[in-house]
Amino acid sequence: MRRDSRRRLSPWALGGAVGGLLVLATSAPTWAAGTTLPKITINPGTASSPSQSLEVLALITLLSFLPAILISMTAFTRIVTVLSFLRSALGLQQTPPNPVLIGLALFLALYVMLPTWNAIDTTAIVPYLNGHLSLVAAGSRAMTPLRAFMFLQTRSTDIALFMHLQHLPPPKTHAAVPTTVLIPAFIISELRTAFEIGVFIYIPFVIVDLVVATVLMSMGMIMVPPTLVSLPLKLLLFVLANGWTLVVESLVLSFHR
């Protein structure tokens, strides 16, 4: 079924549209003359009906929080941590480079979060762009699919910990868990899962290091650094086992859907 591009916007398209609207809205009408600078006019309006300029400012503020949202409330944390473990287990310091590693983690996170993005697009972004929802109501609706994703990945013990730290009673439903409790609980659950995956990644490479060190000592080659021999062997083992495919597949399947 062909996707209707007029009703469904990706997060990237939404950011580009907002940026373009900001440029058009804040530029003076005398572009060609080149004698005026861009201006922003703020009209506070009434308390019950905020003006469109204030909504644009609210969107700018929200966009400034996008990096924190990406790191704290998506699959990015687990993926980038596991990829860092993989690089350390191989014994490589800057290969793959950090931009490549972060880029791979970013697009894997977007792939994992695609059902959540589609739900946010359908329930919040499209109604807001069509004028059926206010900005506050759209933000509230957008949090529902995101909270559902975080609940699937978060351990109940972690939620109970932060509920106890805030002196709140044990929740009976998901709606009773505040977002301020859910986010830190989700982060530490993601870190724990990433460390568990990292242990399984480290085991075969540690075995290679031990075998190489034992063989070199038995041959009397004490002055030869074990990493000089073990690093090519670990790279060869990783390539022959199609390691990138295995790691990416395990990462994607580790998320509960």
Sorting pLDDT into bands at 50, 70 and 90, what band is 51? Answer: low
Residue 14 confidence (pLDDT) above 90: no
Give which of 14, 10, 255 is closest to 149, Cα–Cα: 255
pLDDT tens digits, one per residue of 174-201: 888 888 888 899 999 999 999 999 898 8
Separation CA 257–CA 77 (nearest Å): 17
Give which of 84, 86, 78 is closest to 241, Cα–Cα: 86
Report DSSP letters for 202-235, one per residue. Answer: HHHHHHHHHHHHHHHHHTT-TTS-HHHHHHHHHH
Inter-axis angle of helices 179-218 and 76-90, nearest 10: 10
Separation CA 184–CA 159 (nearest Å): 8
Beta bridge partners of 45: 50
Mean pLDDT of 146-173: 88
Q: What is the CA radius of gyration of the chain?
A: 25
Residue type, 253: L
- The CA distances from residue 200 to 68, 189, 206, 209, 249, in Å, are 29, 17, 10, 15, 14
Q: Where are the domains of the chain?
A: 53-253
Residue 208 confidence (pLDDT) above 70: yes
Write out the two tokens for 53.
């300029």
Residue 42 confidence (pLDDT) above 60: no
Q: Which of these ranges, 46-60, 63-77, 217-231, 241-255, has the smallest mean pLDDT?
A: 46-60
Separation CA 83–CA 211 (nearest Å): 24
pTM of the model: 0.69
